[in-house]
């Protein structure tokens, strides 16, 4: 019985962690922009594009990371077809991660 309880507890924790990292719902975005919790997306897109001159944006997402910080994720493709994933702090625009997307 203890094993079953432990399994259910582990499953609940896993599901809760997944929800905490879920995408921000579209109906929440306007409020986040107005409150200043996130920079305007045009500014964040420009910050991501500055990391790879000549690249184009193929996808964007606004998520909470595991610490609850809003992170703007931008997928880019450069002129040679190389793909990158750039993660920005959505409030400050600081680059948190810039890696080749495999």
pLDDT in tens, 29-66: 999 999 999 999 999 999 999 999 999 999 999 999 99
Counting residues of the chain whose pLDDT is more than 90, the rounded percentage is: 73
What CATH number was assigned to the domain covering residues 2-100?
Answer: 3.30.505
* pLDDT band, residue 22 (cuts 50/70/90): low
Angle 51-47-82 from CA coordinates, rounded to 5°: 35
Q: Report CA 99 to chain centroid distance, whole Å.
A: 14
Strand partners, 86: 74, 98
pTM reported for the whole predicted model: 0.76
- For residue 69 the two structure tokens come to 């910080």
Is residue 87 within 8 Å of residue 63, measured between CB atoms? Answer: no
Q: Mean pLDDT, the chain, as a whole number?
A: 84
Is residue 72 within 8 Å of residue 88, measured between CB atoms? Answer: yes
């Amino acid at each position: 019985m203890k094993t079953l309880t432990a399994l259910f507890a582990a499953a609940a924790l896993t599901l809760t962690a997944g929800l905490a990292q879920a995408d921000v719902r579209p109906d929440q975005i306007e409020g986040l922009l107005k409150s200043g919790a996130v920079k305007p997306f045009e500014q964040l897109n420009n910050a991501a594009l500055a990391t790879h001159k000549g690249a184009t944006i193929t996808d964007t997402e606004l998520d909470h990371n595991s610490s609850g910080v809003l992170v703007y994720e931008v997928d880019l493709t450069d002129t040679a077809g190389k793909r990158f994933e750039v993660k920005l702090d959505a409030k400050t625009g600081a680059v948190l991660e810039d890696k080749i997307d495999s």
